[in-house]
Amino acid sequence: MIKKVSWVIENAWSYILNLKEMNVVFSEENKTYKVRLAVGTKNDDAVCKKNGFEEYKTVEKLITEVANHASFFFRDNFSVQDVKRITQQICIKAGIPFEEKKLKIVERPANLFHNVPNIAYYDTNNRDNLKKFIATSMVGFGLKSYPKPVRIQFTSTAEFLSKK
């Protein structure tokens, strides 16, 4: 990591790399640093890739990749098992097959300022199944500490990203 940062600084300083912006972020969760760069030209982009940097995907590319995905934001009053069970019930209610391997749950830790919602993604395989899946909702109950009913409905991930 230190080598990458020093490489960027050295090349930007000597005008080999046209650096527009640099951001270094430390992830407390997995104890890693991320270096984000905004470079000026395609040549600079190629030089960075050659030296071990990865390219971020554009929003358009992400939308294409998640065209058949549905997502749902949930607070920590729902356990991972609750979300799996609810997703399975929505699939049954919508008349589409449930496959656990197509469900991805991302748990994000809360920080000092706010409670960050966790995210569940489900790949529905095709557009017709996606329409059925996001049109179906149900009432779910979370953990015993929060016994109130919550309406649960997934939304199209591609539509959500296109609004951003």
Q: What is the pLDDT of residues 21-75, one digit of tens each?
A: 667 777 776 677 777 666 677 677 677 666 666 776 677 888 888 899 999 888 7
pTM: 0.65
Cα 148 to its chain centre, rounded Å, is 27
- What is the spatial distance between Cα 46 and Cα 68, in angstroms, rounded to a whole number? 31
Query: What secondary structure does DSSP assign to 108-158, as a single string?
Result: ----SS--PPEEEEEE-SSHHHHHHHHH--EEEE--TTS-SEEEE--EEHH
For the cut 60, the answer to whether the pLDDT of residue 1 exceeds it is no
Structural domain ending residue among the three candidates 12, 35, 56 = 56
- What is the spatial distance between Cα 89 and Cα 70, in angstroms, rounded to a whole number? 15
- The enclosing domain of 70 has a CATH number of 3.30.70
Q: Are residues 72 and 46 in the same domain?
A: no
Q: Are residues 25 and 84 in the same domain?
A: no
Q: Are residues 82 and 20 in the same domain?
A: no
Domain extent for 16: 2-56
Q: Are residues 22 and 82 in the same domain?
A: no
